[in-house]
Structure 1
């Protein structure tokens, strides 16, 4: 006997009658009103290639859901693309939109009391926003990775959006002709989909599968490929059965699932942004897990098994051909919690049974890693009592520590101007602050632009950078420690640093410290005044006033009232 669906109301009741009237007008017959009602969460947009194909994907998905005996309802959310949405408010709308996506979904899906949802995952912030909604609403949910874009070629060399991003700051600092950059930008993207490197989007697609929230073998995938469309159809059939089985996200999103996701990101040297996004999903799902602590403890025990651009030489296409996330999990199997349940209704162990790695030179076994040391390192110290994150890459660093005098900036514009006029010199520790979740707000402030500008100025291996801002998921340039917490805008230690203070960053001890006495800290603390808050109107004001700390994933605060 099939269970009672929450979307169904007594025939002839007020709620049944008004819904039936609307749905009749939409061409949905009365008999279908008793079927499972599935939300297709679509962040379609004509602003960016990341989202431009999703309407076509939704159409195929609707057909699959109907064929499986359910009724699809397409809903729309905000569609933030870093390269487009980052233009306004110094980039604050990028991370700020993640929680807007979550709330968009809650309003549409919870308000209508739909029975399940299937999320078309695409660019950086939509993926965690959708996962956060799944964890919050706790109705049957399936994530469908919607693919990476085809990259191009310029003057006989590979070119993708990462190359354009990096090269743009080389042009800003005068080290690349503008016309060279223009030519690259015209060839970098040749199809819809997310960035083709292992940035935040592809990293989070891998996270979806590692958590057990996407079908095995579905990430990453080339956008609109036959493989992707087969996965879309399979997902359409599967979500309907998940509704009848009442298989909910909180049955899947257990601490072991988060540990599995952390292992996978470590094993590919994925985006730093995954740390806060995973913590946000855990917070929304009320899962008792410290994701930052997992990266800290599992990092040294998780070798890098795949070197994908930008940290390695292999392309995302090669990673997919080698077996993608499923093959990565197979190589990591001895380190995973394979008893975790997944959207298939089976465990990780069940899903990995019989899986073969197509190319063990691209996705290596644990016995033959690309690099034995973690590509992502969590540091602490008197400048980062809670945490700081660095992406070290897979090349063994000759210099494992850096000590130098601080040179401090509150805006990326001032830092880049200092680069241009030669104020920043070899040996400096560049401090870029005021770019945290409250100070930016939403981590707007252009920390990534500063990092790329430093590289463009030829100082990438000659200085170090500390920031409470976040970095592009594609960043892997020089010794940069990001997301120092607590942030400067709330009085974190980074706010108290002055030009000339000696700062040491040590990757071996995993510490970041300023050489200040207790008296100096106390004197500066007593004299400190918080900076004037940015954005006192609109969504960013609401975000700034309500966002929680990074240790909780920077989600909007729950007041408990």
Structure 2
């Protein structure tokens, strides 16, 4: 029983066969009779030795376990897949990256639901783990807390700051002959000085902050420097708090309400978070059975939410500056007039109560130059823009820097490729000229399959000095660090599902107007109709393995790219549309 008298689902009927064989297993592990009756908590460890992002998580597990035991619970470590965008992207042009997100909640479901554990503390690190943990919490709907395990300390090379983003960007300069391989190696060797996720407001830190904005991480715990005293304190508090959550019976679906998702989108717009947050939050909403349209919220709130933060790669400040200024809690405080403060959080009360609590510095917002007030934003216009048009009837996403370097309108002629390598090869041969719109298609969730990364093309253009004069339109996804030039990503319907992107030919006129939220293909309808008649059936792709299963089950990216038996939206119809 719990302290409040509610029965624990993990306490099986004494004398039953399931109880007996579990008792035999657990007694062999040294678990006492008394411990077997306590709240049983999964410590979900998405850990791997393949990447620095996860290298510290194994050390966090015993600290969380100790806190759980001290609070009266019984912890069990559960391991899952641990994808890193910069490591797992090597195979199949990065097509394993997004599908790996959907492996993790299934790993968790098998272990936690199969064992009928009572609650979870999940240790989130690189890009896909935080949304995957939220998806699992929403699906299982047992008391859960997501712990953001921190960003990596960045380095210095030849007297200048260097981090993983700059290494990623510099690789394009090497390809264009504007930087030596020796210099790139020097940057790479000094960019990362410890464990944790990318030191910028890419997808990982964005999603850590989204967890707190949704109410699923303890208030004041994101972003945080990995292995810092603040990180360890947050991990210990989560271990203690999860036992209280089980006792109180507070479940994720009571926290992740439509109002909570609206709050989270408001925060994403205010910080200019990663565009990947759109599909990840939609996937979480799907698992929580919450009827919210996340892309629609981004479109609706875009002109209402001012930009309060300008953190790299979006502006001059570092992620360390954002943490020192008060992090997500400070952003929430500045946005208070735009938020529903009556939503619940895993702290136990409402968001209003959480923001009113004490902070280590005594001030919720320690630096209003880093986290600005509503009446003094960095910019009034959005940097995350959902666009529509004849080329993207289901919608697409554009990310703009805080200060645009060029026009928010781009008009040019198409140059089409069916893979990022083809586009990079053409760029290397000097075939890409100013005024070109690179159309890189067949990279969507079905066409990939798995939504290949187009970031290398964007950074190669920047390295070649063409970032301001060449646009990119793709049904693939971008790294959360991409914030240069005019890039239209995640076009829906994707080419493999018969979207207009499949009909574009070299020389076609494409017009991108960010202010008008449009992306159009200026080709007569009768010409497009004739091309569609000539369009053959796409190759079915692999017939075995994980990507094959993913291709058959995945929904369109506008629906979160989640896995369902029905897999709706298999065509250019309304199921795949962004509102």
Shift in CA distance, 535/174, structure 1 to aligned 2, threshold 3 Å: farther
- The aligned residue for residue 364 of structure 2 is 356
Distance 1:61 1:245 in 2: 20
Look up the SS of the partner of 1:522 in the other structure: helix
Q: Structure 2 matches for 1:5-404, cutoff 5 A? A: 5-353=8-356, 356-404=364-412
Q: Distance in 2 between matches of 1:11 and 1:507?
A: 64
Q: TM-score, normalised by structure 2?
A: 0.95
In 1, the alpha carbon distance for the partners of 2:400 and 2:47 equals 34
For 1:469 and 1:264, locate their aligned partners in 2 and report how far apart those are by CA, in whole Å: 25
Residues 228-265 of structure 1, C-alpha deviation per residue, up to 9 Å, x if partnerless? 11111111111001011111110011111111111111
2:483 maps to 1:476:
yes
Give CA deviations for 1:143-177 in whole Å, capped at 9, x if unaligned: 01100000000000000001111111221222210
Deviation at residue 425 of structure 1 after TM alignment: 0.5
Structure 1 residue 508 displacement after superposition: 1.3
Structure 1: give runs of 5+ residues left out of the alignment: none
2:498 is aligned to: 491
Give the deviation of 1:499 after TM superposition. Answer: 0.6
Gap runs ≥5 in structure 2: 358-362, 568-579
Is the contact between residue 490 and residue 530 of structure 1 (CA under 8 Å) also seen in structure 2? no
Secondary structure of 1:516's aligned partner: coil
Equivalent pair of 1:491/1:530 in contact (CA under 8 Å): no
Residue of 527, 541, 545 corresponding to 1:534: 541
Shift of 1:524: 1.6
Listed one character per residue, the Cα deviations across residues 492-547 of structure 1 (whole Å, up to 9, x for unaligned) are 11011111111100011100001122212211222212331333321111111111
Q: Is the 8 A contact 1:407 1:498 kept in 2?
A: yes
- Contact conserved, 1:376 with 1:393, CA < 8 A, in 2? no
1:432 corresponds to which of 440, 445, 460: 440
Shift of 1:558: 3.7
* Structure-1 residue corresponding to 2:457: 450
* Residue among 462, 466, 472 paired with 1:459: 466
1:505 paired to 2:512: yes
In 2, Cα distance between equivalents of 1:471 and 1:535: 23
- Cα distance in 2 for residues equivalent to 1:469 and 1:140: 35
Q: 513, 521, 525: which one pairs with 1:514?
A: 521
CA drift of 1:398 comes to 4.3
For residues 460-497 of structure 1, give each alpha carbon's deviation from its aligned partner in whole angstroms, at most 9, with x where no partner exists. Answer: 00111101000000001100010001101111110111
Give how far 1:26 is off: 0.8
Q: Which residue of 1 aligns with 2:572?
A: none
Q: Secondary structure at the match of 1:50?
A: helix
CA distance in 1, matches of 2:432, 2:183: 26
Report the Cα offset of residue 397 of structure 1: 4.9
Structure 1 residue 387: deviation in Å?
1.1
- TM-score, scaled relative to structure 1: 0.98
Structure 1 stretch displaced more, 390-399 or 511-520: 390-399
What is the CA–CA distance in structure 1 between the aligned matches of 2:328 and 2:28, rounded to whole Å?
Answer: 43
Partners of 1:275 and 1:551 lie apart in 2 by 8
SS at match of 1:30: coil
Kindly provide the CA deviation profile for residues 327-375 of structure 1, in whole angstroms up to 9, marking residues without a partner as x.
0000000001111111112111111125521000010001000111111
Q: Tell me if the contact between 2:512 and 2:518 (Cα under 8 Å) persists in the aligned partners.
A: yes
Number of equivalent positions: 559
Distance of 1:356 and 1:87 partners within structure 2: 42
Q: Which moved more, 1:516-525 or 1:136-145?
A: 516-525
For residues 45 and 172 of structure 2, what CA distance do their matches in structure 1 show? 33
Matched, 1:411 2:419: yes
CA deviation digits over 1:7-42, x for unaligned, max 9?
111222111111111111111111111110000000
- The CA deviation string for residues 402-432 of structure 1, in whole angstroms up to 9 with x for no partner, is 1111110001111111111121100011101
Query: Contact 2:553/2:566 (CA < 8 Å) preserved in 1?
Result: no
Structure 1 residues 232-241 or 526-535, which shifts more?
526-535
What's the Cα RMSD here?
A: 1.1
- Contact persistence 2:56–2:196 (CA under 8 A): yes
Match in the other structure for 2:577? none
Structure 1 Cα separation of the partners of residues 542 and 91 of structure 2: 12
Q: Report deviation, 1:202.
A: 0.1
